[in-house]
Amino acid sequence: MATQSRIRIEICVDSVESALAAQTGGADRLELCQNLFEGGTTPSAGMIRAVRRRVKIPLFVILRPRGADFCYSEEEFGVMKEDLLVARELGADGIVTGILRPNGTVDRRRMAELVRLARPMAVTFHRAFDVARDPMEALEALVSLGVERVLSSGQERTVLEGIDLIAELVRAARGRISVMPGGGITERNFDKIRRLSRAREFHLSASAPVGSRMVHRNTRVPMGRELRAPEFGWSATSLERVQAIRRSAG
């Protein structure tokens, strides 16, 4: 059964520093990614190893070979399986992944293979769920596959916008799978989301801007394409924001 009494907070991180801040702040679990600008892709083996050495709380690793959609070629699926084995060898406690067929349904065959390869690690189906054609159909598919939890914004841009569907999913799950809201959750709206959704697990980044340590700055040479993150700043998990969420969760 996926039901539990304690509210659990999962923090999405992309660095060792963010992982340590999340753990110190009271997070129950980490989702480790890279390339959050594209919604998160698979982190390097070095990153997984470094984070695993520094944190004691459960560590889940995202398996997503690229940004954009969740319909993968055989070559991309092969990479996902290789990355899964690496994550398991490096001590991950779970994986976070999702594969859809061209018609918007869960790719049961490939997901079943990933679930089998992942054991005894836990499996979370990520926000590929939010672009599935039928959320209830997708939920039942994931239950049948033995997936432990599904991350969702309720098929909307943010959890607050999708809260009605999330609450419906929590009811439909009936404890067979954990429905974990994620997308736009902050310390300001957390209590409202918890109350309306009746979920027991929540996913957020709790991030804040970080300024570059560079004193010399050549602003004429960008390191990315025209639509890009700033060169002299980034976001990282905020210890204070995680603590605020933890206090709200109890």
The pLDDT tens digits of the residues spanning 81-95 come to: 999 999 999 999 999
DSSP annotation string for the chain: ----SS-EEEEEESSHHHHHHHHHHT-SEEEE-B-GGGT-BPPPHHHHHHHHHH--S-EEEE--SSSS-S---HHHHHHHHHHHHHHHHTT-SEEEE--B-TTSSB-HHHHHHHHHHHTTSEEEE-GGGGGSS-HHHHHHHHHHHT--EEEESSSSSSTTTTHHHHHHHHHHHTTSSEEEEBSS--TTTHHHHHHHH--SEEEE--EEEEE---SS--TTS-SS-SS---TTEEEEE-HHHHHHHHHHH-
Please tell me which residue, 123 or 1, carries the higher pLDDT value.
Answer: 123
Residue 3 has pLDDT above 50, yes or no: no
Confidence of residue 1 (pLDDT cuts 50, 70, 90): very low
pLDDT tens readout for residues 100-127: 999 999 999 999 999 999 999 999 999 9
Give residue limits of the domains in the chain: 8-210+232-249
Mean pLDDT of the chain: 93
The Cα–Cα gap between 176 and 16 comes to: 33
Phi then psi dihedrals of residue 181, to 5 deg:
-65, 140
What pTM, to 2 d.p., does this model score? 0.89
The Cα–Cα gap between 121 and 201 comes to: 18
Cross-sheet strand order for the sheet of 122-125: 178-181, 149-152, 122-125, 94-97, 59-62, 29-32, 8-13, 201-204
Give the model's pLDDT for residue 230: 65
Task: Kindly state the average pLDDT of the residues 157-173.
Answer: 98
Q: Checking phi first, is residue 84 left (phi over 0); if not, alpha (psi -120 to 50) or beta? A: alpha
Task: Kindly state the average pLDDT of the residues 225-234.
Answer: 64
Q: Superfamily for 8-210+232-249?
A: Copper homeostasis (CutC) domain (3.20.20.380)
